[in-house]
């Protein structure tokens, strides 16, 4: 398992890729009934990034839509992160 900056970069890349995939699906199918769930999953992906790498949202806020960032911050503030050393 990579440590330090390399670990954080890999996590950030994976989180942003998943987030962008949900946004793309939502944009491609604007009338899909699945879009609400896609938006929720996009937010949860961002929450995962924040829990795994505290400060993720602030560091990448230029790549995250403000409403998604706000929702993710709210959820992340109520979660308990597991320290990487205990995984």
- Domains of the chain, by residue range, sit at 4-81
Total-model pTM: 0.83
Cβ neighbours for 18, distance < 8 A, ≥ 6 positions apart: 42, 45
* Rounded percentage of the chain residues whose pLDDT exceeds 70: 89
Give CA–CA dist 26/22, Å, rounded: 6
* Residue 59, pLDDT score: 96
Q: Which residue has the higher pLDDT, 52 or 79?
A: 52
């Amino acid at each position: 398992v990579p440590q330090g900056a390399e670990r954080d970069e890999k996590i950030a890349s994976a989180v942003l890729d998943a987030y962008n995939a949900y946004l793309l699906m939502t944009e491609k199918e604007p009338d899909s009934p699945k879009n609400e769930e896609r938006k929720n999953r996009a937010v949860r992906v961002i929450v995962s990034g924040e829990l795994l790498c505290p400060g993720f949202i602030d560091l990448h806020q230029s790549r995250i839509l403000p409403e998604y960032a706000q929702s993710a911050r709210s959820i992340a503030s109520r979660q308990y992160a597991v320290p990487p050393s205990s995984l």
